[in-house]
Chains A and B, each alone.
Chain A
């Protein structure tokens, strides 16, 4: 018997048979600790500027002895990805560079290699665990049809969000209903009706603003479906520049339930991802967004950037062990809360997003972030340049 090279720890859990959201707390913490350590080691060996940054911050991996020590890892403000190309893998291994679809003028650019993309796809698949028992894992490929209110993957090589939504086609047969920038509402509705009549489970996916538009169109045209108990609505990407029209999540869910005749709001879920993060946080049946076990999430004080106690709001930071081509040890612009456990029974924290910080109204925070950035010396990064 000859041994083949072992796959990494994170790949074993990410792609494993066991539900990663149902590891015991002990298993989860042990895995998270080792996975983040493994990721830190890997990036430090391949990324000299990161190594220098950590050295200047007087950080070594040996300081990480316990899960609580993960809060000591120096963080990269997500803004640095707008100013510099921060890559841990060799240029010839990069499959594609993705940009954020943010509302600002300057976009983050994240280079992803095969390993990183594979793991992202794995993270996306693991989210379907949170849709059980409505969705059986083995049914994905055969009994589910996806109606994507977005462009096909092949038509879109830029914004990360579109790529994420289109990647669902790998999990289940998918039709896309944005072509040449046009959202084809009527065709999408007819597709939903056709698949439900054929006895399939249907996943309607898209940004909430597009789903709302579809729902209003259905309402206006007195559109109804039979078998709506087999229809599931998955949103992601937020409202973006339509944030002023955003409905509160419970109101949005109720609108969808009422219009399509769903059995309950459980059939409407939202997911969170950003281009600088390589995992998706999906809602369970209680509409809590679960942090997968390969990600360490923390809340930071907006002024000191120190980790705060549970229940306090602050800036969200993440250490994502699945990112191979770029260091995903990040702090972003989202204010939020962490809850250490969810009544749904799954293990690990859930994250609650409150709002995105405003550079003008959250000046103290912005200045702190500016100070953090000024300690970075990546090529192409101008520390004197304004954050705006």
Chain B
């Protein structure tokens, strides 16, 4: 597949690095893919490959103040920054592809930003969450060990560690207290405002997302059609399990390409699946591509 680097700018002039991956054959749809927290756009390469082989042009991005090629470091991560990165990437897609609508595929914490984005952006024709987070405070408590809903700003540590990265917890505190990114009710409110279909692929053994919260958010936040597909025994980091990835991406591609989610009980017979070797080649090639683009952009590793 052919992937090119594009640069968009946030309202405060920070660079958002985007990888545009062409579809193989005539494009049938366009989609933005948002990696989850702590993951780079190359980590969602298999999704882009899967979609490209089925006729979907994809735009992946690294949010600002996160890992990857965009400006800022993960120390200053905030959901506001991710939302702004999603907005400029989506607008880039609409303009460059000359389309009026596009789909957003978002993993984990990024799905939370996608729900709010859809609430305020009618050009989104569908949101597809992958282990989407609906109760930010609860997920962050499980992942980082801090409950932002119940702590004073002055009581926060200088940083918290997550997967070897130092993160300033004050940005997340502000996200929660100033913009209501953290509460389940905030997600319900956003979903109630979003009229497009919203589908979430959930993992039954997800250690970071409570399945009752997810069901509640989708039941009450019914601004449009809502669906949940659940992978039995699945864990939050689905990307580590290629067997799970295969099951989920087949259905995800189907969901993305079809208009009526509710009619999908089996995979389309014409669905194309990338091979093991193609995925391996992609992983290695995109690691090198990232390194090359990092040098081009003058970014630190």
Partners in one complex: yes
Q: Is the interface of A mostly helix, strand, loop or mixed?
A: helix
Instruction: Give the distance to chain B from A325, nearest Cβ to Cβ, in Å.
Output: 12
Give the CA-CA distance A4 to B200 in the complex, in Å.
12
Stretch at the interface among B26-34, B133-141, B166-174, B244-252: B244-252
Contact, CB under 8 Å: B164 / A12: no
Contacts of B151 in A (CB 8 A): none
B230:A7 contact, CB within 8 angstroms: no
The answer for the CA separation of A153 and B280 in the assembled complex, in Å, is 10
- Flag A169-199 by CB within 8 Å of B: 1 or 0 each: 1100100000000000000000000000000
Give every chain A residue within 8 A of B260 (Cβ-Cβ).
none
Given contacts A4-B230, A4-B232, A6-B233, contact A118 B275 (CB under 8 A): no
A199, closest chain B residue (CB): B301
Shortest CB-to-CB span from B76 to chain A, Å, is 19
Contact with B along A72-116 (1 / 0, CB 8 A): 000000000000000000000001000000000000000000110
Supposing A2-B229, A3-B230, A4-B230 touch, asked if A118 and B242 sit within 8 A by C-beta, the answer is yes
User: B293 in the interface, Cβ–Cβ < 8 Å?
Assistant: no
Residues of B within 8 A of A31 (CB): none
A6: nearest residue on chain B (CB-CB)?
B232
| Interface size classification for chain B | 35 or more
- The reply on A17 being an interface residue by CB < 8 A is yes
Chain B residues near A354 (CB, 8 Å)?
none
- Smallest Cβ-Cβ distance to A2: which chain B residue: B229
The minimal Cβ–Cβ distance linking B107 to chain A, given in whole angstroms, is 16
In the complex, whether A8 has a CB less than 8 A from a CB of chain B is yes
- CB of B243 within 8 A of CB of A8, answer yes
Instruction: Determine if B241 and A15 form an interchain contact, defined as CB atoms under 8 angstroms apart.
Output: yes
Are A170 and B244 in contact (CB-based, < 8 A)? no
Complex alpha-carbon distance, A122 and B244, angstroms: 13
Tell yes or no: A371 within 8 A of B by CB: no
B241 A6 Cβ-Cβ under 8 A: no
For residue B139, give the distance in angstroms from its CB to the closest CB of chain A. Answer: 15
Instruction: Report A-chain residues with C-beta under 8 Å of the C-beta of B301.
Output: 142
Evaluate whether A7 and B247 lie within 8 angstroms (CB atoms) in the complex, with A1-B228, A114-B275 already known: yes
Give the distance in Å from the alpha carbon of A7 to the alpha carbon of B243 in the complex.
6
A377 to chain B, nearest CB (A): 32
| B163: contacting residue among A8, A11, A138, CB under 8 A | A138
- In residues 1-38 of chain A, which contact B (Cβ within 8 Å)? 1-8, 11-12, 15-17
Known: A6-B231, A7-B244. A170 touches B275 (CB 8 A): no
Neighbour of A2 across the interface among B227, B283, B284, CB < 8 A: B227
Is A15 a contact partner of B164 (Cβ separation < 8 A)?
A: no
A136 close to chain B: CB less than 8 A: yes
Contact size range, A = 20 to 34
Q: Assess whether B207 is interfacial by the CB under 8 Å rule.
A: yes
B241 / chain A contacts, CB cutoff of 8 Å: 7, 11-12, 15-16
Taking CB atoms, residues of chain B closer than 8 Å to A5 are 247
Most buried by B among A15, A122, A136, A167: A15
At the interface, yes or no: B177 with Cβ under 8 Å from chain A? Answer: no
CA distance A143 to B202 in the complex (A): 30
Partner of A15, one of B229, B230, B240: B240
Report chain A residues within 8 Å CB of B280.
Answer: 121, 153, 167, 170
Bound CA span A170–B228, Å: 32
Residues of A close to B233: CB separation below 8 A? 6-7, 12
How far is A2 from B233 in the complex, measured between Cα atoms in Å? 14
Given contacts A95-B277, A122-B242, contact A1 B230 (CB under 8 A): yes
Nearest opposing residue in chain B for A172, CB measure: B287
A50: interface (CB < 8 Å): no
Chain A: minimal CB distance from B184 (Å): 17
Question: For the complex, is B71 an interface residue (Cβ under 8 Å from A)?
Answer: no
Alpha-carbon distance between A304 and B139 when the two chains are bound, in angstroms: 57
A1 touches B215 (CB 8 A): yes
Kindly provide the distance from the CB of A153 to the nearest chain B CB, expressed in whole angstroms.
8
Beta-carbon contact of A4 and B229 below 8 Å? yes
Taken together as a complex, chains A and B put the C-alpha atoms of A367 and B84 apart, in Å, by 73
| B231 with A4: CB separation less than 8 A | yes
A155 at the interface (CB under 8 A from B): no
B: residues with CB less than 8 A from A are 38, 163-164, 201-202, 207, 215, 227-237, 240-244, 247-248, 251, 275-277, 280, 283-284, 287, 291, 301
Complex A-B: 29 CB contacts under 8 Å: A1-B230, A2-B230, A3-B229, A3-B230, A4-B201, A4-B230, A4-B247, A6-B231, A6-B232, A6-B233, A7-B233, A11-B241, A12-B233, A12-B241, A16-B241, A17-B240, A115-B243, A117-B276, A118-B276, A121-B242, A136-B164, A138-B164, A139-B164, A142-B164, A167-B280, A170-B280, A170-B283, A173-B287, A173-B291
Given contacts A4-B248, A12-B233, 13 further A-B contacts (CB under 8 A): A3-B229, A4-B230, A6-B232, A7-B241, A11-B244, A15-B243, A16-B241, A17-B207, A95-B277, A118-B242, A122-B242, A136-B164, A143-B164
